[in-house]
Structure 1
Amino acid sequence: MGLSNRRSFLQSASALLASTAFPLHSQARETRSSSVPRLGIVVQVKRGGSSEEVIKHVHDLGFPTCQIFFDELNMREAQPLLLALKKYGVEVSALSEHNPGPRIFDFYRGPLTIGILPQEHRRARIDALKLAADFARTCDIPSIHTHLGFIPEDPNDPTYPVAVEAIKEVAQHCKDQGRMLLCETGEETPITMLRMIQDVGTGNVFVNLDTANLILYGKGNPVDAMDVFGHLVRGMHAKDGLFPTNPRTLGEEVAIGTGRVDFPALFKKLKEVNYDRTVTIEREISGPKQTADILQSKVYLQHLIDVNFG
């Protein structure tokens, strides 16, 4: 399906949503084979917010799963989350953790602020990821998820073994808790991520394929990346974007179907590796347009799941 056809499909999807006024809720909750991916969304529990309201939002949009991030993660949040998940029949596929400290997503300040490589925040972020693994075990969440940072492309770079040891410490704690560590794509090339996972070597480190990030960072594209690490993909952010043209800033994130991600080709690759986990929609804007774009994407992506997985 070419870009023009994808746009046509999204226009049709928008019309369908307008005419049906959310009967998609029941469709999203139909019992599916374990080999068929399920849709979800990325959600955040902000300071002063509650798991109840966030999980209710996931339910109200008709999604059976989500990836969740807490602005302030602590074990006191576990019981309210468990109660909300049971109440609304929602599952959490991964717990995201990125704190503490700032994260600036560009090419100059990004390497200094993102992930566990920046020395200023390394120990605190390792400890936060360990706490996330403990929380995930308590809440029966299979994975924790994070941006590890700009892993060096050159394995001879002196910061590369530092990164590997830091990741190994987190990964081993996750393994002790029976959890997977999902590494979000973007800041490094696919082959660098593969090398890092192999060098960590704990057997529980996998890829969270953000379909736009490889493009936004100019590191490749998700379809070709599947040839490198497709067998390691255990999570996915469905997102679209444009390649960077300013060497200081990332490319632009856009609505699914309007960027450079070839979703039809990608879903064929996912089928080839028997991907059976979640397809988690991420739209990095706010307000009514975010909801509208998510609901359009829901129809489009469900169509691709149905076509490729039956």
Structure 2
Amino acid sequence: MSKKALYLLGIAITIVLGTFLYLKFCCNCCEKAITDDTPKTVSDTVQEPNFVPFVLNGSGIEYHTNDNLKFLKNSAKLIMPVSDSVITGIEKLQMFLKSNPKQKITITGYATSDETNSTTFENLGLARANDVRNYFVSKGLSENQFNTKGEILDKWKMNADTLLGPANYSFEIIDSTAVTNNEWSALKDKINAQPLILHFNTNRSSQTLSDAEKQKVADIAKYTENVKDAVILVVGHSDNIGNRSSNIALAQKRADFSKDYLSKNGIDSERIETQSKGPDEPIGDNGTAEGKAENRRTVITIK
């Protein structure tokens, strides 16, 4: 083979080898560079904010702040102090209600199913709703423009052991003539037909209420809230152990305890009358332990 042919062959081999090496190494470098420079796709997952806003939204009022009223787990008492932004909302609500006397707000309080209700209310959510209402009233709002109810949910947003804003506020205009006297009369008849009767241990004037008794308290509170001239009558009774004067005094203590209990659960104490019958009106046989237990009682009715 001539020198010229070898020379041309060498050039051809060089070109082929160079092309191969370029494709193998340099293009990989370029591809890597392009890949490295390409922005990575980031997931659009948005972390849920750890707050529940305080919202007042009715016809003629709209207020929103990310802060809120708070409760410790298992507690029905508001955590104090309340933030300035929430107080601002309450002040706006006060002005709104004064300008709209027919406006009614239902406060729904919430509690979770794993919380313990140690209050005298039917459930912890209702207890919280009543504490919120009481706080609003302490700020100058009219008690008559609020209703309360409670709900139990599986869960609620929390920060450590604190529930964030477990309450809702629904607005509606109430025509007072829409609720007839017959409806409230029927509720009064129901209360008096099966009055709230609290039984007491010997020489004791304190009592833990059952769920059924708590519901009767709620009915009485509802009646007095809507019938403004309603008066509650609490009559204390005793068995016949000891002298009559001592039993009269003990039965009065039981009546006073029941009055105090009712006043702490939303009933104006000035609308509660107490009496003591002592051992004079037994309903059980004082000759038996069971009969004496029946006689140690207070009876709560609507006058």
TM band (smaller chain): under 0.3
Structure with the larger strand share: 2
Normalising by structure 2, report the TM-score: 0.24
Structure with the larger helix share: 1
